[in-house]
Structure 1
Amino acid sequence: MNAKVNRWQVLIASTAVLLCTGAVYAFSVFAGPLSVEKGWTMTEIMLAFTINAAIGPIPMIFGGFLTDKGLAKWAIVIGGVLFGLGFLLTGFVTSTGMLYLTYGLIGGFGQGLAYSGCLSNTIKLFPDKKGLASGIITAGMGGAAIIAAPIGNYFIENNDVFYAFRSLGIAYIIVIVIASFFIKTAPANYVPEGFTPPEMMRGGKMINKNWKQMLRSPYFYLIFFMLCTGAFSGLMIASNASVIGQQMFGLSAGTAAFYVSLYSLSNCAGRVLWGTVSDKLGRNKTLNIILSVIIAALIVLTVLSSQLGFAIGIIALGLCFGGVMGVFPPIVMENYGPVNQGVNYGIVFIGYSTAAFFAPRVAVSMASASGGSFTNAFYVAIVVACIGLVLNICYSQMKKAKAKEIVEA
């Protein structure tokens, strides 16, 4: 079905929304000042971030359901406003319980809802450039902290942390409301002029599977664990980059902070870079490269103790973490069609949440047991990436066998 819709306008507006909601990843900028202002421990404060991340799959699936029912704009607007409201209300908290409610629950639910709506709706408009569209959209989420961190820090230094939350919350709501006027719901089975999606056509009919059919598919479990293993190393580094730089490579706090920003920038760039590459080479070949680079980067971190080694490892892992996040939405759509992409990807995204739960804990636990060294954690991440590489090879072989059956039939 073709309809008059400016898909690039929708892509830009949706990315603007995620440049707001992705500010959740700049929480470390606010955590320290919150501790100083209120006397709360960092453990108490970081629980708000944990809650925010933990509830992610729930709004992702719900937002996907709304998107698949043609209500993507509602999911994006409601989710975006809820996120901004969560930020705004955090500027008035007086207890950790309130912090968990505003930043953790309200902000987390809003972020997941908006992310699901933006990603699933936009990728349906780009069946010919799924990797590129997914990369740009997820880059908005991944790169938001690059903008939010310095602005938030400026507000904190010139006023206080609560003023920063209130100001950013209001700004986010305004930007999201304005962006919503340019977001249109993707028409059902949208196909741009001159493009035929061969991977989803059987006898001239487009194949779409719902979540129940997806769960019965042998590909689902491979895709699920591939996302989990692919995201593992990136999440491990994202949560510990500054500590790793200081404890293992002797960097100052300021220099380590610079590399944290560099990691975020690499993460953002990697989503567009690898998404585009995957449109050219295919998802499987691209994942093979990404996972191989992850393994090489982790080896560099274990072998080289210089700042150069840290820089190489951080940049490579950031690019690859971004690549993983940009490649998997197209993989889900190519296997199960665009009609139920929202719910289907929301369920697959639980694989990411699983990695988010285990990776930071494994890293911190092993570092504590090794006097602050993350070397053993890097070894674990290498093994996990190797498992992901094997799973991707199995997935590729299964797809080739299936394609051969179809041709012979």
Structure 2
Amino acid sequence: MTKQADTNRWLPLIGGTLLNLVLGVFYSWSVFVLPLENEFGWIRQETSWTFSIGIFTMAVMFVIAGRFHATLGFRTVAVIGGILFSLGFFLASLTTSLTWLYISYGVIAGAGNGIGYSVAIPVISRWFPDKRGLALGIAVGGYGAGSGVFGPIADEWLLPTYGWEATFQIYGIVFLLVAIVGAWLLKPPPDGYAPEGWDPSQLKPAVTTVMRDLTPSEMLADRSFYLLFVAYCFGAMAGLGLISQLVPFGREAGITNVALIGLVVGAVGNTTGRIVSGSLSDGLGRLNVLRLMVIVSAVAMPLLYLLGSNVLFFVIGVFVVYYCYGTLLSVFAATAADFYGTKHLGVNYGLLFLAWGIAGLVSAQLSGFVVDTFGDYRLAFFGATMLSLISLGALSMTKPPQVSESGPA
């Protein structure tokens, strides 16, 4: 391993966090829902497709972008992602039909989101083998914080003052500038890098790392990959349905200033879950933390529905549910790096990340269907408990892959 002073490794972490802060605004889609529905007379099931298409496109492009990391370079791929994401927002300001909205926000912004998001995880994983859970938690925590920063600004100030068209345009310009700065800071470490004074034997016993980097084909031959895929998909499905409908649900529950309360608290919970649980997984083990969080999520989701009309319980419930959801995004990424190595992590984690994309495609659309058909969120919230329990079952059967220096055992 190449050992050197680790001072500069914090700059890529800052860059990845900045880039993800911008990309995370995708979670703020719910603040645009009512203005667009009021403008064009669309129903919730129609507008929900925008978020679903965007999430699925993001997951697919994550895998595709991972294949270009080695040829184009991490920074170039990050810039391309930032440009597409910003362009999608700007084009969304020209919306006159659902098709245009699906293409601009769903496909173009979603593609930029996936391309940009694919960069920080492998770069940060290589810079921080000693604190992988914490570092990835901070980087992807920026993604979770994006909605808490930019969502309320849009809902409380930009949308009422300037309208949805100008808000999309303003954000498109701002996001481009921040994304380019973040991309420039995302310099990868030299091959074989290890922090000065650190040795792999210093990892806690609960954290199991692979003896060598696995190729995507080797990973796909591992049974644990499919168990992780199922756990990720159903765990994320439980949370994404709420995220896509947070503002309308809060207003239906009688919560005033729901964007300011719900989105900020949700973003704080999301970000805290990614950072704190990521750090906890460095000591307690990735799978142990994931199992605990899906259990908590299974209990918290129906309680949020039942007690959500009370502001205090709404705040607590949103925080807990988002905390558990945020845990998935950081700890599954760290798990993929531990189980399958960092050399092919852009593609390997991208393939696992497809589970998140499928969850988003199904959950947001299902939530919209429930609202339009039944007039409330009861089935979606209680159904989330069952989804979390399925995730727990898959995680309970997951074990680290047995890999020798020369090949799979």
- TM-score, scaled to structure 1: 0.87
Aligned length: 394
Deviation at 1:316, TM superposition (A): 1.2
Which of 203, 211, 214 aligns to 2:219? It is 214
Cα distance, 1:113 vs structure 2: 0.2
Query: Distance in 1 between the 2:365 and 2:41 partners?
Result: 25
2:16 counterpart letter in structure 1: S
Q: Please give the secondary structure, in 2, of the residue aligned with 1:209.
A: coil
Aligned to 1:115: 117
1:238-317 to structure 2, matched below 5 A, reads 238-247=243-252, 250-255=253-258, 258-298=261-301, 300-301=303-304, 304=307, 307=310, 308-317=312-321
CA RMSD in angstroms, aligned pairs only: 2.7
Query: Could you say which residue in structure 2 is the equivalent of 1:82?
Result: 84
Distance 2:192 2:359 in 1: 32
- SS of the aligned residue for 1:167 comes to helix
> Which amino acid in the other structure matches residue 171 of structure 1?
V
Whole-angstrom CA distance in 1 between matches of 2:210 and 2:377? 51
Q: Supply the distance in 2 between the matched residues of 1:234 and 1:361 (Cα, whole angstroms).
A: 13
Q: Is the partner of 2:235 in helix, strand or coil?
A: helix
CA distance in 1, matches of 2:270, 2:288: 20
CA deviation after TM superposition for structure 1 residue 208, in Å: 0.6
Residues 52-87 of structure 1: per-residue CA shift (max 9 Å, x gap): 122122210122222355711111111111111222
Partners of 1:166 and 1:138 in 2: CA distance: 25
Matched with 1:335 is 339
Deviation of 1:321 after TM superposition, in Å, equals: 0.5
Runs of at least 4 residues off by over 6 Å: none
CA distance in 1, matches of 2:76, 2:145: 24
TM-score, with normalisation over the residues of structure 2? 0.87
Per-residue CA deviations over 1:220-241 (Å, capped at 9, x if unaligned) read: 1111111112212211221233
Please give the alpha-carbon distance, in whole angstroms, between the structure 2 residues aligned to 1:399 and 1:150: 41
Contact 2:148 / 2:263 at 8 angstroms: preserved in 1?
Answer: no
The answer to which structure, 1 or 2, has the higher relative contact order (CA under 8 A, 6+ apart) is 2
Q: Percent identity?
A: 31
Distance 1:268 1:62 in 2: 26
| Counterpart among 139, 158, 165 of residue 161 in structure 2 | 158
* SS at 1:191 equivalent: strand
Distance 1:298 1:106, change over 3 A: closer
Contact 1:131 1:330 in 2 (8 A): yes
- Kindly tell me: are residues 4 and 90 of structure 1, through their superposed partners in 2, closer, same or farther at Cα, counting changes over 3 Å? farther
SS of equivalent to 1:111: helix
Equivalent position SS for 2:185: coil
Q: Match for 1:222: what amino acid?
A: L
1:406 match: none
* Greater CA drift, 182-191 or 250-259: 250-259
> Residues of 1 paired with 2:248 and 2:161: CA distance?
27
- CA distance change for structure 1 residues 161 and 241 in 2, over 3 Å: closer, same or farther? closer
Distance 2:187 2:227 in 1: 33
Q: Of residues 345, 360, 364 in structure 2, which corresponds to 1:360?
A: 364
1:154-188 superposed Cα distances (whole Å, 9 cap, x missing partner): 23333232222122111111122233332212333
Mapped contact 1:68–1:339 kept (Cα < 8 A): no
2:232 to 224, 227, 233: 227
- Look up the equivalent residue of 1:343 and give its one-letter code: V
CA distance in 2 between counterparts of 1:268 and 1:346 reads 21
Secondary structure, in 3 states, of the residue corresponding to 2:67? helix
Greater Cα shift, 187-196 or 6-15: 187-196
- Pairwise CA distance, 1:336: 0.7
Task: Give the match for residue 64 of structure 2.
Answer: 62
Once the two structures are TM-superposed, the CA of residue 342 in structure 1 deviates from its matched residue by 0.6
Assess if the C-alpha contact under 8 Å between 1:270 and 1:322 holds in 2.
yes
Measured in 1, the distance between the counterparts of 2:325 and 2:65 equals 24
Which residue of structure 2 lines up, in the alignment, with residue 21 of structure 1? Answer: 23
